Structures are given as C-alpha cells and as structure tokens.
Structure 1
Amino acid sequence: MNYKKKLWESNTGKSVNIVVLDSGVNINSELYNQVKAGYVVNGSLNAFTVSEGEYGDTIGHGTAIVDILMRNVPDANIYCLKMFDDDLSISIEKFIYSLNFILNHIDCDILHISSGITCLENYDEFYNVCKLISEKGIIIVSAFDNDGSISYPAAFPFVIGVDKSDNPNLKISEYEWVDNNVINIRASNSFHRVKWCTPPNTIVRGTSFSSAYISGYVAKIISSGLSDIKDIKEYLRSSSKFVFPSSHVENKRNISGDIKNINKAIVFPFNKEIHSIARFVDTLPFELTGFYDVKYNGNIGRTISSILQCEVDHKIMNYEIINWDDNFDTVILGHCKELSKIINFDLLSYMIEMCKKHHKKVYTFDDISSYISTLDEEYHDLFMFPYISEEHLIKNRFGKMRRISKPVLGIWGTSSRQGKFTLQLILRKKFMGSGYQVGQIGTEPSSLLFGFDEVYPMGYNSSVYLQQFDSIQYLNEKMWEIEAGNPDIIIVGSQSGSVPYDTGNILQYPVKQIDFILGTQPDAFVLCVNQFDDINYIIRSIKFLEGITTGKVIALVLFPLKISENNMGFGFRNTPMNYEEIELTKSKFTEQFNIPVYLLGDIEEMDRLFENCVDFFSGPQ
C-alpha cells in the first residue's frame, strides 16, 4: 500500500471520535466545554455505576492528555471517561468495568489510555475486554508504565503500546517503531507544557503524555481514510524515524524434538542425575522399562531399592545386553562425559549411533547439537536435548520485565548434593495431589520428563548459553508464560548455593544462581541445609535471599547425611545421621533461626512442610 508521507502534517482529525480514559478534565479550563461528552465511574468493587456530566479533574493528568490531543487534532471529537479520583491508582475491577462501559455504550474510533497495570491477576478478563474493544474496530493506544516494566493493556498484541525513547535527538513529533508484539512505539521523551489543575499550567514528561501525541497521529491517519489497525501500524512504521527490526523467531523451542511422544523408555547410565527418575518413577508420564549401567560402577545386578532405599524393584542391567529390538521407543541418556573418560570409551556416541540404527528416540542431558549437525534431517526428530541460547531471546524489550502475580515458591540450598531437586518433586507431588495446579521451572535436565513447564539446565555440563541480563530476561519471560497457564503456584529450584563460601577463587562465585533468583523472584524460600554447615554461612544465605528479593525464607530442610572420617583414618565420607543427631541439629537450627526445620524425606515432616507453604501463601502477605 502506498501512503502519502506524513498524513498528519495537515490533517486535523475531523470527525474522529476519541475516548480518553483518565482523570477527567479541569472544570475551570476552557477544555472542559470543548469535550463532546464526559462520564465518571462511581462506586467500588461490584457496585460500580456511571453518571454523565460529572467528569471534573482534581489531579491534572487527564486535563494534560486532552490538552495535547486538542492541540494536535482540534477537529476531533473528544469524550472523557473519568476513572481516577484523587490519585492515579485504581483497582483492576474498576478498570475492567470502565472498559466494558466503553465497549457497550460509547461509539468511538480511538481509545486512549495513559495508564496501565503491571501486576495483573485478572489477566484473562482484562485481556478479553480489550480484545473485544479492538475487534469492534476501535484502535487502542496505551502508554507503558513509567517505571520501566511491562504493563497492560500496552503490551497486548492488538494494542498500540507506547514507550518512551532514550534517544535525545528525537523531536517531539518524532518516534521510533519497534517490530515487537509488546512494544510498538518509542516516542520522544520531551518535556511538554500542558494545562493542569493546580497550577493551571505546568511542564510534564513521561509516556503518558508522549502517547497522547501518538493517539493524535492515529486520529489524523484515520481521518485520512485508513481504519484497519494493520494498515495504521504499517503506516506508523513507514513514517517512523527509526525501526528496531525483530530478530526473534516466534515460539522457538528450547528443546529439540517433542518430549510428549515418549511412551516407553529405558535409562542409561545409573548416575546421580538418574536417581531422581528412579525415586519418582511413579510420577513420570510414560513407562520406564529398564535401567542400565556399565559394569565398572558396581551396580549391575542390584535392585534400585537396595541402592536408593526406595520401593522401586527394577534391576540394573549391563548396557551391553540391551535388546534393541524391544518395544521401548526412547533412551533417556544421562551425562556420560566423566564415565566415558574412566572406561576410555565414548558412551555418548555409541548410544546415539545405536539409537539411530534402530530408530529409537533419545532424550539426553547433554547438548548434542554437534552430533545432530552431521546427520541427515530425517534423523533430527529422534534427538531431544534441552539447550538455551540467544536465539531463544525476545529482542527489543529495552530492559522491560514482567511482574508475576502468581505465588512463587523457591527451593534453594547451601551446597550441592543435598536433595533440592528431590524436594521440588516431593512438593510438586503434594501440591498436585491436593488439587493445586502447579507451574514449574527446574534446573535439572530431567525436569521436563516429570512434566515441568520449563527447564533451565544450568548445573553440571550446562547447556545454558546466556549470561547476566539475557538470563534474567529469558527466565522472566518463561515465568510469565507459565503464569499465562493460570497455575495456583509456581515452584522453582536452584543449583548449589547462593553466596560464595570464599572469595579467593572465581569458581566459588554463584553467578548463575544469582541470575536465576533475579529471573524468577520467589515470594517464599525453602532453604536446604546440611548438618555440618557453618551457622554464619546459613545466616549469610538467608540474609542474601531475603535481601536480593522481597521473598522470605519460611523453612529449612535438613539433608540427613553428615561428614565422617573414613575407616582408614584419612579422608571423609557422607554417612547417615542417627535419630539423636537429627533431633539435636533440628533443635539447634530452630533456636538459631526461629523458623521451622524439617527432615528431607520424612513423610510426616514433608506433610508439615507442605502445610507450612500453603499457610504462608494463604496468609495476609
């Protein structure tokens, strides 16, 4: 479509109807009498009403918006719906009621909203009424929140969302276009002299006022003959000062293949990462038909119950006798790198070749993209592995983050190998068993096998290729995608500790863990601890978790092993704690930290921990 350049340069917006949803108009200003009609939303909660002709502004914000519009499109018809009273805060219920009133009672071309909600609990209801307004042919122009976070309705895909630009050279009439389904326009962040209430004139700055210019431009475009939002957006893009092109591939998956197609699987090798699969085999959405290992690990012929003290009676078999003609469809392949070094044989390559030969799918904990790149395309769907890289990032967000409204429970720890993932699976099972809908991000590569929504494999042999701000943004977006599924609670769990034991070596610095906590922002933490942890280190961990977020550590979970000197008189090993040691440690930690302490794996204590979590999120906080 060929557009005339700058339609708005001579157009005055004649006959275009604009509704301004704001704080009304100053009754003492000449603007008041120039408004075509005005309404005010009264009442609270489910007792809202609308009256006509009482839209006097006591704040100044709405007056300024109307002033900018009338200066830019003097021949447009301006309607006001006052929803703010003494300040610019509003309940989501009142916001939704106001939008429904516009939908059902006001015929207009443009709805201008210089406000928004950043933490949206009634997302579906708010989204749906805005969508209905858009489907009616009304163009919604909305400003993003000035604090820099993603806000609604500006972020909705059918809304023209206006943010402020950091380009100091943009003139007040100029803007930048963003190819993004969240941000559409970055308007000039200039100062504006506007009409107000007290004083009657003032100088203002912010997205609220910059977005009013964009609504004026849209009115000029509509008055010139365009009405479809796609055409309007295309014109706005073509007339922008600069375009930020999108390089994001929509719905780019962070795992190759489709994990939902697993029906029957075998597992190899029987190492630490596989233990949780064995312990919680009853929670897997597919059938496990065999566990395999190498003979050098000493597990061949033993039952899983004898190794892990659980009720799984599968016998571990030698991988060399796998019957590849059996009816299993998938091999779950744990980390093989260290084991391959020990036996001087590339187990990963061997298993991949055997799966390819017998047309079996593979879910591997390691990034095998280098292997897949050498295969014919017909084999690519056989191989599944989690990885996260820059191609999964949504570009052009300019630092904007989403605020998560669902409760978030974080499982953290003071060290590695203390049952954090086991605890996540225990709590997942208990919440779901009690009828709660659970959203979840796991940092173990096996997380997706248990039905978690997302995996962020940042632990051993990590396949996360993001750092710092990119990591935080990626995790924040995944949290929002989980929230969009409307869970009752979101559970997240980290790796190792959160503060360094010592600052003398950079490998002690928990940088990835810090990125993870900033990206997931738990409201409550359960901290896993060891009997041998230094008290001051636990104190530092609690202070850090509660300092870097607004969350609270609500419980400690004790890992039931201690460090003991081995029988030869040198070196140390982990040995089980006896009853007296457990009770003494729990008592000491309870007295020191004044929060409940639970024993990992004890059925009654895990039930009490679950109730503790439910009580916390059911309370006034």
Structure 2
Amino acid sequence: MKIVVLDSGLNINSSLAKEMNFNGGVEIYEEEGKVKIRYDAIDDLGHGTSVASYIKKLYSECEIIPVKIISNNMLANTNVMCTALEYIYRNISCDIINISAGVVSCDEKNRLHNICKLLVKRNTIIVAAYDNGGAVSFPATFDCVIGVDGVREKWATNQFKKVQHNISDYVFALKETRLPSLDDQIEICSGNSFIAPIVTAKVARLISMGHNTFEQVVAQLDSEASALYSNRKYINRQIPFKINRAIVFPYNKEMRVIAHNEDLLGFIIHNYFDLKYSGNVGKIKLGSENNANTKIIRDFDALDWSENFDTVILGHTSIMSNALGRNIEFEIINMCKKYGKQLFSCHDIRFYNDSLNGLKYYCPYVDINPKPEFIKMHVAGAPVLGIVGTGGNQGKFTIQLGLRRELLSRGYNLAQLGTEPTAQLFGMDCVYPMGHESSVYPKGFDAVLELNHMMSYMDNKNPDIIMFGNQANTVPFHVGGPQDYPVVQHELILGCQADAYILCVSEDATMQYIKRIISYLEGVYNSKVIAVVLSTLSTKYRWSTVSSGYSEMSPCIKDKFMIELAQNFNLPIFALNDENLYYDLTDLIIEFFS
C-alpha cells in the first residue's frame, strides 16, 4: 500500500525517516513566480512528519512517500498544489494521497479539479482536509476527493457522519493526539489535518479488503457513517421562462435604466407604459448611444392586451396603488392570466397565492433558510470589484451596467451580482434585491451566508472578475432615525468580500464623510478603493416638504468639486458624465488586478 503524504515533507531525524532510510524527498515550491522542483527536501516545520507518522501508526502495512509543498509555515498556493498532483500523476504510482492542507482562495479550479479526476480515474484515492478556520478549501470540496472536517463534539469512538448533499465529505469528532515532530519531539496535535490520517488509514484498510475504486470506497464509508450531517445545497434562482418581447410598466427610476440599456437585454422591448396621472404618458423615450430606438410612452389603461408581446415587466406600484385606491398588481396578474402573458415582477408577489395559479411568473427574492450544521465560507479565487456610494440616486447601477458592457466587449468572462430586482434581465448571474421594497428576508449572519453562497456560485464559473453593487450609503452620515443605519449594506460588504471598490460620491458628501467611507471599505477586509466617480446630479433639498429634487450639476460646480476631491484623495477622479468613463474605468480595473 503506497501512500503519498502531500505536506511539509519528512524530518530526517524522525524515527519514521530512519526506518525508511529517508535522506530527502521531492519538493514542489514557487520562487520568483515560477514553480520549481528539488529532490533533497526535508521537513523544516514538523507538520508533515506528524501526519506521516500518524498514518504509519494507524496502518503500519504501508509505504509512506513524502512530497513537500509546505515550507516555513507557508501554505501551498493553487499552482504549487496543481503541479504537485500533476507530478504525482506522471511519476509516482500510489494508492492514496493524503493532503492535510488545502487552498482557500483557488484561482485555478478547473486545473486542480481535472488532475484530481485523472488520479481517481487511475484508482488513486485522494483524502483532503478542510480548512480549520471554516472556509471552503480545495481540493477537499471536490466531488472526486474525500473531504474531511472536524467538529468539537463528544461522539463515540470511530463515529463519523456523512455531509448531506456532498458526495464524499465526512465529519469526525476532533481529538488531541501525541505525535512525533521535528527530531522526534512529541507534540500534541489536533485539527482537520489529523483527521485526514484517520480517514487515510481507514481507506487503506478498505482497499486491502477489495474496495479498489473511489465509488466503492465512498459507498462503504457511507454505509459506516452513523448519520447525516445537515448541509444546504444552494440553488441559484433563474427566470424560468424565455422573454422574447416585453412591455415595461411603470416608467419609473428602475425602468428608465432598462430604457437606457436595452442593448444589454436578451429580448426586445415592445414599449413603455405608465398611468396618465404620472405625467409621463405621451413623452418620447429618447434613444441613447447604446440604443437608437425612440418610443412614445403610452397609457397603460389603454393597452390592447392582444398586442405582440409575451411578457410584462412590472416595477414597484405600491405608491401609485395607494394613491389611486386600486390594486394595480392584482389587475395585471389577472390580465396576464387572461391573455397568456408572462409576468416578471420587481416586487415579491407570492402572497397572492392561489391567484397566481396558471400564471408564468417570476419575482426575485431571497428567503430565509434553516441554518445547516455544515457551514463553510467560500473565498473567491477571482478578483472581486464592488461599486458603492455615499448615498442614493448616484448612478451606481448605471456604472455597473456600463462596466458590464465594456468588460464583455473586451472579451472578459464577467460574473455579476445585482441588488436591483431587474439585474437578471441584463444577464447578471445573481440578484440580491435589497433596495426599495426589499425582498431579502435573511438578517445578520444568515444574510452574509446567503451572499457567500452567491459568490461561491459565481466563482465556480471561473470568471475573470466578479462585480457587485451596493445600494444607497455605505456608512451612517449621522446618528438619526432607522433609515440612517446602513445595516443591509454592511451585510452585503461582509458577504461579497471585495478586493477593490469604485466609490460614487455626490456634492452633498463632505470630504470627512468620504474619508470615513474609504477607511471603512479598506478596513473591513484587505481592500482598496481604486477610483472615485462624482455623480453629476445636484441635490436640491426642499425644507417645505422634507424631500429632495435633482438637477444636472453645473460645469462650474462639478469642476470645483472634482478639484477638491483630487486635493483630498490620491485617487483617480471621474465624473459620471465623462465621455470615456467606462473605457477609462475598465483600463484602471484591469491594471489594478493585473
């Protein structure tokens, strides 16, 4: 039975090394950005010696083959891990590979997964430990690897549980074990690293009993597991029908974004509609540089439902419904059913229950899910960019769409999470509708966990970059009412773990307030604000109605504010109406992440 121990090597003064006549082994390491191999490596950490000694203690009838990938307490990166497994595949015939290590932020998942599958195909079983800190780690999480995790529970000796929904993951009770380390000094060892040898020895016994394939070993482990360890299988909700030709109602803020970015939709807009009381009916929806078509906004109450469209895109209508004393949502649901139209609703309409029977509909929402026992947090391997701001109505979603257009046009594989309910209409991968009339129901850590699932879903697509956008402000402007506490924004930032941010600012934001936001963004995680974009909408507060209006900022005020921003922050400063904004921002993003 040959067992490769992929770890920190083997100490030449250990009893195991002397028994093996070991004078040095293979090491895969990275130096100056290049992966190199040497053949005289020894353990300078002690971890690999303890792991190898434990395997030998638990299953003495084996040959240990140390391969070093960890040095001076530095964990292997993806490239080193992949190269080591590729080396083993080409040069070492073995039955089991024990990996009491892993990569948390994996930037070459396909390569790592492929080499693991090749090893399993030749009947080499891989046993890998999960990260001790609770993160998803690779290759333990792969479905072709036996992943092992530990919990501090008082279970019976040899008891372990199978992780629900995972093909080959198992949980064991953590315990302390005295093992030889450097120069045979005894160390008290614990953690997932030392559960892996227990499983490796168990797998070795199964192989010796004739369970030779990965599938046979997993089936036997499943039969021996005492119970299931609860786990949630994340399913990303998608629009369940194809939209070919749609109408849009009402013509409000969120729908104007659709009007200005029709080129990013995968379908045709038949027309835009509003109620006559809105003041929009009869106005011309002008074309833009991205969409040359012009349309006249029509009266929704005069709509001929037999017209050539298959879907209604319905925005939020509660304010106008309350003002008019009519349930506009319910009216539209019934008309869609009557005329066989599909309904995309920005508002969560599930409470209509039986009234939705027979209707093809979709509304974005994030529900509360039971918290599982097996919780692993994903760390993205792809770079993550966040678009955040000092307040509302700054064009943050417009910037996300502009960057989407530019990145896709340059051939980049973009994954994107949108916080506007219309995000999926533009092809974004995930939606977290936390804005007006939010349909995000989890709170606190549960919300962070949902966002982390979404980030994992996108990262597993192996994108070149992941982008998300926030709503409204980022930190409190002052101490005040409930609306002044950006709790959901904080949850989003915790859940998405951005590497870099583009900060949108308005003229009503003080330099001190902007500094506080930058300090916050760069302090929550090891992140960097790489640019500031000034919204060119000028806010006009109305003391008489405790409200505000917006108008285009004058060139003089804009230039003055941009100079002040440049003087206070050593960052590239842009204006939202800059002609080459998205081209220049994309260049900056590529340069930062290169």
Same fold flag (TM > 0.5): yes
Offset of residue 305 of structure 1: 2.6
Q: Which amino acid counterpart does residue 539 of structure 2 have in structure 1? A: I
Choose which of 359, 367, 370 in structure 2 pairs with 1:389. Answer: 367
Higher mean C-alpha displacement, 197-206 vs 444-453: 197-206
Offset of residue 605 of structure 1: 4.0
1:534 matched to 2:517: no
1:155 is matched with: 141
Offset of residue 182 of structure 1: 8.0
2:61 is matched with: 75
1:211 matched to 2:196: yes
Equivalents in 1 of 2:543, 2:518: separation in Å?
Answer: 35
Equivalents in 2 of 1:71, 1:255: separation in Å?
Answer: 51
The answer on whether the counterparts of 2:333 and 2:356 sit within 8 Å (CA) in structure 1 is no
The answer on whether the counterparts of 1:39 and 1:80 sit within 8 Å (CA) in structure 2 is yes
Equivalents in 2 of 1:182, 1:222: separation in Å?
Answer: 19
Equivalents in 2 of 1:309, 1:40: separation in Å?
Answer: 57
1:366 is matched with: 347
Choose which of 481, 495, 507 in structure 1 pairs with 2:483. Answer: 507
1:578 is matched with: 554
2:279 is matched with: 298
1:7 is matched with: none
Alignment of 1:444-463 (within 5 A): 444-463=420-439
Equivalents in 2 of 1:42, 1:309: separation in Å?
Answer: 51
1:263 is matched with: 244
1:288 matched to 2:265: no
Offset of residue 439 of structure 1: 1.4
Alignment of 1:60-459 (within 5 A): 60-167=46-153, 169-170=154-155, 173-181=158-166, 184-198=169-183, 200-240=185-225, 242-246=227-231, 248=232, 250=233, 252-255=235-238, 257-258=240-241, 261-305=242-286, 312-376=293-357, 379-380=358-359, 382-391=360-369, 395-398=372-375, 400-459=376-435
Residues 83-136 of structure 1: per-residue CA shift (max 9 Å, x gap): 445545334333222212322333333211111111111211111001111222
Higher mean C-alpha displacement, 439-448 vs 609-618: 609-618
The answer on whether the counterparts of 2:260 and 2:287 sit within 8 Å (CA) in structure 1 is no
Equivalents in 2 of 1:310, 1:46: separation in Å?
Answer: 47
The answer on whether the counterparts of 2:249 and 2:312 sit within 8 Å (CA) in structure 1 is yes
Equivalents in 2 of 1:139, 1:204: separation in Å?
Answer: 24
Task: Determine helix, strand or coil for the equivalent of 1:584.
Answer: helix
Distance 1:544 1:566, change over 3 A: closer
Higher mean C-alpha displacement, 37-46 vs 55-64: 37-46
Offset of residue 489 of structure 1: 1.8
Distance 1:59 1:307, change over 3 A: closer
Offset of residue 422 of structure 1: 0.9
Q: Which amino acid counterpart does residue 286 of structure 2 have in structure 1? A: S
Choose which of 485, 495, 501 in structure 2 pairs with 1:525. Answer: 501
Residues 129-149 of structure 1: per-residue CA shift (max 9 Å, x gap): 011112222221111122331
Distance 1:55 1:31, change over 3 A: farther
Equivalents in 2 of 1:137, 1:484: separation in Å?
Answer: 26
2:459 is matched with: 483
Task: Determine helix, strand or coil for the equivalent of 1:481.
Answer: helix
Distance 1:474 1:99, change over 3 A: same
Residues 288-321 of structure 1: per-residue CA shift (max 9 Å, x gap): 1111110010111111239999965210001122
Equivalents in 1 of 2:261, 2:105: separation in Å?
Answer: 35
Q: Which amino acid counterpart does residue 388 of structure 1 have in structure 2? A: V
Q: Which amino acid counterpart does residue 3 of structure 2 have in structure 1? A: I
The answer on whether the counterparts of 2:421 and 2:432 sit within 8 Å (CA) in structure 1 is yes
Distance 1:560 1:87, change over 3 A: closer
The TM-score normalised by the length of structure 1 is 0.88
Offset of residue 390 of structure 1: 3.1
Equivalents in 1 of 2:182, 2:263: separation in Å?
Answer: 66
Equivalents in 1 of 2:385, 2:269: separation in Å?
Answer: 30
1:496 matched to 2:496: no
Distance 1:315 1:212, change over 3 A: same
Choose which of 570, 581, 589 in structure 2 pairs with 1:594. Answer: 570
Offset of residue 492 of structure 1: 0.7
Offset of residue 254 of structure 1: 2.5
1:5 is matched with: none
The TM-score normalised by the length of structure 2 is 0.92
- List alignment gaps of at least 5 residues for structure 2: none
Q: Which amino acid counterpart does residue 355 of structure 1 have in structure 2? A: C
Matched positions, count: 591
The answer on whether the counterparts of 1:270 and 1:293 sit within 8 Å (CA) in structure 2 is yes
* RMSD value, Cα: 2.8
Task: Determine helix, strand or coil for the equivalent of 1:390.
Answer: coil
Offset of residue 180 of structure 1: 4.0
